[in-house]
Structure 1
């Protein structure tokens, strides 16, 4: 592997891991889609559940993470994706470990009320609520991410063998749609069905379907990003090195 190829992998891996950690950390916030867009509530009704469309803020970044996974798969193969997936899981757990350690530190008395004028009477309680995600939520999210990534790798390579080097959008989007179907429901099932909140199955199915629908739309909307990334990589590496990497990745298992 050339120095440029190595440098590119480091950049892609860093962006992938960084986005995965950010998605986990901001995922504690739930936002209303209609209110964010300034629209009237859609009042959707699925599996007997109705209401506004609410998503975790992590959905802003997870589609980008899976696009990055497909880009790495295209040029560095399954081994590269599996490496960054395990690395991301390790770094996510590392981040949460230190978040819990930070929560356990005794807060300075003046700091607890430092944001009172911003409507936050106790910064320590707010910090603990934001960063102290439950173990069921962390376990569900990490498990779903890792399983989704491994499925994404397998489906991407299977479609690649069928289509050759044509139709990158098909293997990238197809693998994302399959992996995100699993990811969307696994995380909710572990975190909220078998976890302490004990969601009823209709609610689990409704929320999972809505979140998966968003991810499908995001995957389709990000197809142009795949081609922009492909063009940028070709310019950076040059045609010969680009084709060598792609051929090597296509032959890998």
Structure 2
């Protein structure tokens, strides 16, 4: 393994592990604490892409994907109040969403890398975050995909309630997805500052 990839791989692994743990703890009515750590994966991917290039970013993403699979497997072996902490649908949704969104982030970033410094990380993270949220919550909780795991009762996630408590009546999982998506968008903007600082620091060391 090339030594310059190690910090990125360790950072990505730490984010994935922390998010898998923190997703078990609620933050308010619509979020979990994991919603605030997981979006940092896009920061790691974008920093690696900017400093070391597309291939390095992909290697870091695939390392994070493997760690995520391991976390999901462990979660399936741990029983909580309502059954396994991680169901097949959650594991599948997490894996598909992570890999698709992160690779899309890399592709979009690469297309925009020659523009203003902030454009590539901002646009790629916004697009990747949107795809990530849509894929995960749909695969994990939508009643239309119950065939993926017939024995998994997700009726609680499909209870019809006002969107975020104030909007039109929709399945609960859509409110959870919207809240998660809004946090991702906010962090995509806020992490532009550490992105700039970290990239400058790494570029300076390289010279």
Shorter-chain TM-score bucket reads: 0.7 to 0.9
1:58 corresponds to 2:34: yes
What is the match of residue 130 of structure 2? 181
What are the equivalent positions in structure 2 for 1:187-198 lying under 5 Å apart? 187-193=136-142, 194-195=145-146, 196-198=153-155
Q: SS at the partner of 2:24?
A: coil
Moved more, 188-197 or 145-154: 188-197
What is the match of residue 164 of structure 2? none
What is the match of residue 86 of structure 1? 62
Change in 2 beyond 3 A, CA 1:212/1:71: same
**How high is the TM-score relative to the length of structure 2?**
0.80
Shift of 1:225: 0.3
Query: 2-side partners of 1:96 and 1:64: how far apart?
Result: 19
Query: 2-side partners of 1:130 and 1:66: how far apart?
Result: 31
What are the equivalent positions in structure 2 for 1:199-210 lying under 5 Å apart? 199=158, 202-203=170-171, 204-210=173-179
CA contact (8 A) 1:25 1:131 kept: no
The alignment yields a C-alpha RMSD, in angstroms, of 2.4
Residue 137 of structure 1: which of 87, 90, 97 is its match?
90
CA contact (8 A) 2:65 2:95 kept: yes
Change in 2 beyond 3 A, CA 1:87/1:131: farther
Change in 2 beyond 3 A, CA 1:131/1:27: farther
Q: SS at the partner of 2:31?
A: strand
Q: Tell me how many residue pairs correspond in the alignment.
A: 187
Shift of 1:89: 1.6
What is the match of residue 17 of structure 2? 21
Shift of 1:236: 2.1
CA contact (8 A) 1:28 1:130 kept: no
CA contact (8 A) 1:21 1:88 kept: no
What are the equivalent positions in structure 2 for 1:1-253 lying under 5 Å apart? 6-32=2-28, 52=29, 54-101=30-77, 103=78, 132-160=85-113, 164=114, 166-193=115-142, 194-195=145-146, 196-198=153-155, 199=158, 202-203=170-171, 204-238=173-207
Query: 1-side partners of 2:39 and 2:175: how far apart?
Result: 20
Unaligned runs of 5+ in 2: 147-152, 161-169
CA contact (8 A) 1:23 1:58 kept: yes
**How high is the TM-score relative to the length of structure 1?**
0.66
